[in-house]
Copies of this chain bind each other. A is one copy, B any other.
Amino acid sequence: MGTGVRRRMGVEERRQQLIGVALELFSRRSPDEVSIDEIASAAGISRPLVYHYFPGKLSLYEAALKRASEDLAGRFAEPHEGSLGARLLRVMRRFFDFVDEHGPGFSALMRGGPAVGSSTTNALIDAVRQAAYDQILSHLGVTEASARLELVVRSWISLAESTALIWLDGRRVPRAELELQLVHDFAALTAVSAAYDADMAALLHTMVKDEPADGPFAELVGRLISLAS
């Protein structure tokens, strides 16, 4: 029954170990397909001992998801240095690293369904989206977003999620291309909004005025101009 192991590990230490083992399994396959028996076996303890720490698979899943979402939110943190395009590109690389590491679990979670959808999991997803949103506003130097800016930023976050999900389904486009594309998409969606709104136009101006000639934004504009001619 593994009680020897239980004596060696404290309660919190054992819980953290189980969360780590579960996160690993829930990341690599759809949570539907992962059993408590498998988690117990991977952790080297008995099934009843798993239930001693977590009342059921859902609570263990939620604990693993909490750790993963804190990890992801942490990857959004980026120093306020250099051009905005370069900063966003670095964050996109870390986002795709995360998606790559947690592929099947990320897909199952974001596609929803009974095995992964609960008010707790939805709240964790919303918290990660909010962390992304707050980071972007802080890099734009904005404290109070207008309705139009909020719409551009939040809808772009959802575009990044869906781009990652589509990428995971077959990985038919190189991820580096998509990381750069998402940076460009952010500029493009901002430009579309700026075409009809003076405040967004002013924001776009501050976004691009410090961009270096060899940065991602300048490269896009150059390519679009050559495409149009």
B181 near A193 with CB under 8 A, answer yes
Output the least CB separation between A106 and chain B (Å).
15
Complex Cα–Cα for A227 and B223 (A): 18
Complex Cα–Cα for A172 and B152 (A): 13
Contacting residue for A189 out of B172, B188, B204, CB 8 A: B188
Given A113-B122, A166-B154, A195 and B148 contact (CB-CB distance below 8 Å): no
Q: Quick check: is A229 within 8 A (CB to CB) of the other chain?
A: no
Complex Cα–Cα for A188 and B178 (A): 15
Q: Quick check: is A206 within 8 A (CB to CB) of the other chain?
A: no
**Chain A interface residue count, Cβ-Cβ cutoff 8 angstroms:** 44
Copies of this chain present: 2
Complex Cα–Cα for A197 and B167 (A): 17
Contacting residue for A227 out of B122, B147, B204, CB 8 A: B204
Q: Quick check: is A1 within 8 A (CB to CB) of the other chain?
A: no
A192 near B184 with CB under 8 A, answer yes
Complex Cα–Cα for A217 and B221 (A): 18
Output the least CB separation between A147 and chain B (Å).
4
Point out residues on A near B: beta carbons under 8 Å.
111-114, 117-119, 122, 147-148, 150-151, 154-155, 158-159, 161-163, 166-167, 170, 172-173, 177-178, 180-181, 184-185, 188-189, 191-196, 201, 204, 220, 223-224, 227
